[in-house]
Amino acid sequence: MVSHSELRKLFCSADAVCFDVDSTVIREEGIDELAKFCGVEDAVSEMTRRAMGGSVPFKAALTERLALIQPSREQVQRLIAEHPPHLTPGIRELVSRLQERNVQVFLISGGFRSIVEHVASKLNIPSTNVFANRLKFYFNGEYAGFDEMQPTAESGGKGKVIKLLKEKFHFKKIIMIGDGATDMEACPPADVFIGFGGNVIRQQVKDNAEWYITDFVELLGELEE
């Protein structure tokens, strides 16, 4: 076990911080919002719950949910325009404080790139620092599946992205912050995992994370000290 003061030191000296997006950077689960918008909310949120609990392989759960939703390009665009995701309180300030300290900030999500890029733009995170799943559409805009080659489409995909970032940019210390089992599994290769329960508390994460927070103010405080 690493002591809490060691964890705090690691966080304050990190050269990269990776955030999960759904229920971490934003208050919603993007896929559930898309399902609600497309009229299949109940069936899909049950599947999301099972996937987050780790009882269904991620790609299988994603395939199954998207097959139910069948989102068209127009529906995705309308969702972003009419029901834009809500940023979690404190995230804007935390990201901007990290960027002031020249820490690279990445968004790594099992959600959809079109939604995550919208969130990134609100936080001044370049789209090159976004890793998420790509929806595919036919030329008429109808749903055509998703890009199964993206690392984020797999169980363990977030860890693969972090390993890739370490190899590409030679980061010494990477922090992963998120609410779910898939985020916790990304450490290692991440050097520290910080569980976030500000939007939803997942018991498995709360019980097993060495550092668990429910408010980003706590991390801002660490950077100010």
Query: What is the reported pLDDT for 8?
Result: 75
47 lies in some domain: yes
Q: In terms of domains, do 70 and 166 share one?
A: no
Q: In terms of domains, do 50 and 62 share one?
A: yes
Sign of CA dihedral 9, 12, 185, 195: positive
125 lies in some domain: yes
Residue-range definition of the domain harbouring residue 19: 4-28+86-137+147-223
Q: In terms of domains, do 176 and 126 share one?
A: yes
From residue 110, alpha-carbon distances to 97, 136, 210 in Å are: 25, 15, 23
From residue 144, alpha-carbon distances to 41, 72, 96, 135, 186 in Å are: 20, 9, 37, 8, 29
Q: In terms of domains, do 129 and 21 share one?
A: yes
Is 30:112 a contact under the CB 8 Å cutoff?
yes
142 lies in some domain: no
**60, 83, 106 — which closes off a domain?**
83
**How far is C-alpha 14 from the geometric centre of its chain's CA atoms?**
19
Q: In terms of domains, do 39 and 20 share one?
A: no
To the query of whether residue 183 is one of the catalytic residues in this protein, the response is no
151 lies in some domain: yes
Q: In terms of domains, do 99 and 196 share one?
A: yes
Q: In terms of domains, do 69 and 93 share one?
A: no
Nearest-angstrom CA–CA distance, 185 and 169? 21
Q: In terms of domains, do 151 and 196 share one?
A: yes
**Number of domains forming the structure of the chain:** 2
CATH number at residue 70: 1.10.150.210
Nearest-angstrom CA–CA distance, 153 and 101? 31
Name the catalytic one among 20, 32, 179, 183. 20
Model confidence, pTM: 0.88
Query: What is the reported pLDDT for 18?
Result: 93
Q: In terms of domains, do 77 and 102 share one?
A: no
Query: What is the reported pLDDT for 206?
Result: 78
Q: In terms of domains, do 109 and 219 share one?
A: yes
Residue 29's CB: how many other CB atoms inside 10 A?
25
Name the catalytic one among 22, 32, 179, 183. 22
To the query of whether residue 22 is one of the catalytic residues in this protein, the response is yes
15 lies in some domain: yes
Query: What is the reported pLDDT for 119?
Result: 93
CATH number at residue 216: 3.40.50.1000
> What is the pLDDT tens value at each position of the chain, 225 positions in all?
666 777 777 766 789 889 999 899 999 888 888 898 888 888 887 777 666 666 677 788 888 889 989 999 999 999 999 988 899 999 999 999 889 888 899 999 988 998 999 999 999 999 999 999 999 999 999 999 999 888 888 878 889 999 999 988 888 889 899 998 888 888 889 888 989 888 877 877 878 888 888 888 888 777 776
**How far is C-alpha 148 from the geometric centre of its chain's CA atoms?**
18
By three-state DSSP, how is residue 185 classified? coil
Query: What is the reported pLDDT for 54?
Result: 62
Query: What is the reported pLDDT for 156?
Result: 84
